[in-house]
């Protein structure tokens, strides 16, 4: 029997032995298999309340670890049953998809490699992979060779960074040095009343002020009204304010409406405004043949936000910001520092120069692994499938005398309600409480309706039938 000296013991104390590694591997695979196979039967929402959950995790951390087997036992018994089953085929709330099959493995490997994706020396292959993923995403919209971008934590961060880049590009002063107070009048950003909250949030964070976010009304299809946008810009110029950016949506969060991108792009060109497209929800539907023509004009924007953690089924977190002129992104975020050995080689992309973070994880890896493992075609098929299912749901709702659509179904968001009823919220609450499905409420054109957003490649027509049949029953009893 070998005896370990103190150094060996300390070195090994945070490592797994060969036996533990094998156990952790097989228990992880077992857990993933069991989870995947039981998805449809799992409750969409757990039943324990917050107090019970606190109690469940009330025990102090052990001075001596519980070991691998006990850890996995606790994960299975305490954590798994108390998670929201986001991958459940009847989880249709928000815009949140399930992770694809290879992603848990990609995440584990990325954690082991622990690349710091800030500059070349700390992430050689990773930085090339991130560039490759970004340039593939940019190519979907035919962005030119000048384009570049960065993988972000999600659409909100991409929107924030886009607005910051736009400000640095369009402000009439050197914003970095002089700051906002040197700008002679407020900078104004334009978006629609249907824009995602992350736009206003970004404006607030960046010090633009919510008073300088114009929320332009939408038409009956929930698309930004170009005539009103034009008028708002004109009025602001007359008041000596400084219009600098328009944020259009390629898929609004509520209804999936696609703003009139070509007309907005032309207006922005005439008015010398930055055009940002918030494509976090919808832009990756460009993978679908039937929608791609409507989304292709996203490529006319100065920047676009995308969310691979939605339609590419990468697990959280994975967003992306693409900028038509990569150098403009760099202008907003690049800071030289003497203690970092980032090489000044134009062929290298040191990602620390393209965003606010220094230490950054290898988020591009799970996207790269997904595209490699399944191929682009699989994602095209998933996009078509989600559009098919939403169309089917819309057809069923239209055919049902007591139900009505509250908005046209352009992507995969279906907003509907009971005709002439004010009890949509109560009926939805019953459906959710009994665990049939998770759908969300939607506030639309002065009404509160029900919203299903199909962002899951597992959702089938039978799931939709089950949900609608049950809602109709609940509606009859209400
Ligand atoms: C249109 C739109 N923009 C931005 C976001 C925010 O994206 P994230 O949740 O990745 O930050 C969402 C999220 O659903 C969205 O639908």
Find how far residue 164's CA is from the centre of its chain. Answer: 19
Per residue in 203-224, pLDDT (tens digit) is 999 999 999 999 999 999 999 9
Residue 469: count of CB within 10 angstroms of its CB: 13
**Bridge partner list, 258:** 250
From CA 60, how far away is CA 206, in angstroms rounded?
40
Residue 463 CB-half CA count within 13 A: 22
Expressed in angstroms and rounded, the spacing between residue 178 Cα and the centre of ligand 1 is 32
More confident residue, 29 or 343: 29
State which ligand 1 atom lies nearest to the alpha carbon of 307. 10
Residue 307 included in any domain: yes
* Boundary residue ending a domain (335, 359, 374): 374
Residue 264 DSSP one-character state: H
DSSP state of 452: E
Q: Is residue 225 situated within a structural domain?
A: yes
Task: Kindly give the number of the ligand 1 atom that is closest to the alpha carbon of 158.
Answer: 11
Tell me whether residue 190 is in a domain.
Answer: yes
Sign of the C-alpha dihedral computed for residues 50, 51, 53 and 57 taken in this order: positive
Looking at the predicted structure, is the pLDDT value of residue 30 above 90?
Answer: yes
Tell me the mean pLDDT in the region 360-381. Answer: 98
pLDDT tens digits for range 162-218: 999 999 999 999 999 999 999 999 999 999 999 999 999 999 999 999 999 999 999
Among the ranges given (35-44, 104-113, 376-385), the one the predictor scored with the smallest mean pLDDT? 35-44
205 and 278 inside one domain: yes
Q: Taking the model in full, what pTM does it have?
A: 0.96
Asked if residue 425 belongs to a domain, the reply is yes
330 with 209, same domain?
yes
281 CA from centroid of ligand 1 (Å): 6
Does residue 439 fall inside a structural domain?
yes
CA–CA dist 438, 44 (Å, integer):
7
Same domain, 466 and 349: no
Question: Which residue, judged by its Cα, is nearest atom 14 of ligand 1?
Answer: 95
- Give the DSSP per-residue string, 44-104: SS----HHHHHHHT-SPPPSS---HHHHHHHIIIIIGGGS--TTSTTB-STT--PPPTTHH
- Give the distance (Å) from ligand 1 centre to CA of residue 258: 14
Ligand 1 centroid from CA 318, angstroms: 11
String of DSSP letters for 406-440: SS--SSSEEEEEETT-S-HHHHHHHHHHTTS-B-E
CATH code (residue 387): 3.90.1150.10
Rounded distance from Cα 325 to ligand 1 centre (Å): 23
Q: Is the dihedral of CA 225, 235, 233, 242 positive or negative?
A: negative
Instruction: Please tell me the total number of residues recorded for the chain in this structure.
Output: 478
Question: Can you tell me the mean pLDDT for 454-470?
Answer: 98
In angstroms and rounded to an integer, the radius of gyration of the C-alpha atoms of the chain is: 25
pLDDT at 104 over 60: yes
pLDDT digit string (tens) for 276-312?
999 999 999 999 999 999 999 999 999 999 999 999 9
pLDDT tens column, 396-427: 999 999 999 999 999 999 999 999 877 999 99
Q: Are residues 174 and 189 in the same domain?
A: yes
N-terminal to C-terminal alpha carbon distance within the chain: 73
User: Would 161 be classed as within a structural domain?
Assistant: yes
Write out residues with Cβ below 6 Å of ligand 1: 95, 154-156, 196, 198, 249, 251, 253, 278, 280-281, 307, 319
Q: Around 327, how many Cα atoms within 13 Å sit in the side-chain half-sphere?
A: 5
Atom of ligand 1 nearest to the CA of 310: 10
What is the predicted pLDDT for the residue at 339? 63
196, 276, 309: residue to mutate for ligand 1 pocket, most atoms within 8 A of CB:
196
For residue 352, is it within any domain?
Answer: yes
Confidence of residue 130 (pLDDT cuts 50, 70, 90): very high
- Number of domains, the chain: 2
Position 75 in a domain: no
In testing the pocket of ligand 1, which one of 97, 152, 156 has its CB within 8 Å of the most ligand atoms? 156
For residue 350, the enclosing domain spans 107-374
Question: Atom 8 in ligand 1: which residue has the minimum CA distance?
Answer: 155
Q: Are residues 164 and 239 in the same domain?
A: yes
Task: State the distance from the centre of ligand 1 to the C-alpha of 341, rounded, in angstroms.
Answer: 35
Looking at ligand 1, which residue's alpha carbon is closest to its atom 5? 155
Query: Among 374, 401, 428, where does a domain finish?
Result: 374
pLDDT at position 321 over 80: yes
Cα 397 to ligand 1 centroid, rounded to whole Å = 26
Joined tokens for residue 417? 């309600």
Domain boundary among 374, 395, 411: 374
CA of 280 to the centre of ligand 1 (A): 5
């Amino acid at each position: 029997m070998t005896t370990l000296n103190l150094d060996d013991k300390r070195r090994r104390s945070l490592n797994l032995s060969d036996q533990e590694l094998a156990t952790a591997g097989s228990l992880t695979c077992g857990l993933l298999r069991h989870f995947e196979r039981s998805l449809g039967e799992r409750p969409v929402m757990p039943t324990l309340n917050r107090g019970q959950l606190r109690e469940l995790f009330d025990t102090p951390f052990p001075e001596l670890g519980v070991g691998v087997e006990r850890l996995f036992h606790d994960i299975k018994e305490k954590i798994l049953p108390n998670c929201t089953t986001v991958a459940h085929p009847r989880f249709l709330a928000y815009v949140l998809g399930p992770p694809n099959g290879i992603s848990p493995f990609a995440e584990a490997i990325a954690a082991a490699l622990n690349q710091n994706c800030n500059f070349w020396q700390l992430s050689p292959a990773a930085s090339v992979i991130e560039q490759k993923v970004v340039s593939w995403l940019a190519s979907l919209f035919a962005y030119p060779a000048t384009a570049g971008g960065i993988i972000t934590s999600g659409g909100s961060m991409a929107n924030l960074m886009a607005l910051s880049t736009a400000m640095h590009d369009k402000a009439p002063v050197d914003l970095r040095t002089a700051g906002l107070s040197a700008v002679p009048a407020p900078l104004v950003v334009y978006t629609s009343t249907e824009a995602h909250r992350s736009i206003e949030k970004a404006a607030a964070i960046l010090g633009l002020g919510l008073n300088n976010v114009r929320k332009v009304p939408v038409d009956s299809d929930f698309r930004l009204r170009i005539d009103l946008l034009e008028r708002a810009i004109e009025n602001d110029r007359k008041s000596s304010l400084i219009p600098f950016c328009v944020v259009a949506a390629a898929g609004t969060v509520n209804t999936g409406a696609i703003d009139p991108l070509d007309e907005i792009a032309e207006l922005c060109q005439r008015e010398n405004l930055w055009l940002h497209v918030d494509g976090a929800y919808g832009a990756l539907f460009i993978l679908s043949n039937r929608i791609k023509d409507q989304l292709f004009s996203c490529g006319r924007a100065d920047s676009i936000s995308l969310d691979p953690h939605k339609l590419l089924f990468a697990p959280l977190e994975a967003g992306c910001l693409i900028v038509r002129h990569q150098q403009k992104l760099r202008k907003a975020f690049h800071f030289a520092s003497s203690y970092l050995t980032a090489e000044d080689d134009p062929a290298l992309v040191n990602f620390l120069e393209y965003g606010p973070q220094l230490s950054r994880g290898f988020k591009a890896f799970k996207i790269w692994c997904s595209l490699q493992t399944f191929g682009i075609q699989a994602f095209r098929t998933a996009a078509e499938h989600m559009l098919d299912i939403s169309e089917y749901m819309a057809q069923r709702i239209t055919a049902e005398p007591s139900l009505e659509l509250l908005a046209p179904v352009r992507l995969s968001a279906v907003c509907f309600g009971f005709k002439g009823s004010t009890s949509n919220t109560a009926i939805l609450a019953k459906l959710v409480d009994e665990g049939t499905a998770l759908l969300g409420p939607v506030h639309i054109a002065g009404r509160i309706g029900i919203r299903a957003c199909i962002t899951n490649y597992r959702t089938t027509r039978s799931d939709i039938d089950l949900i609608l049949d049950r809602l109709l029953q609940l509606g009859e009893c209400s």
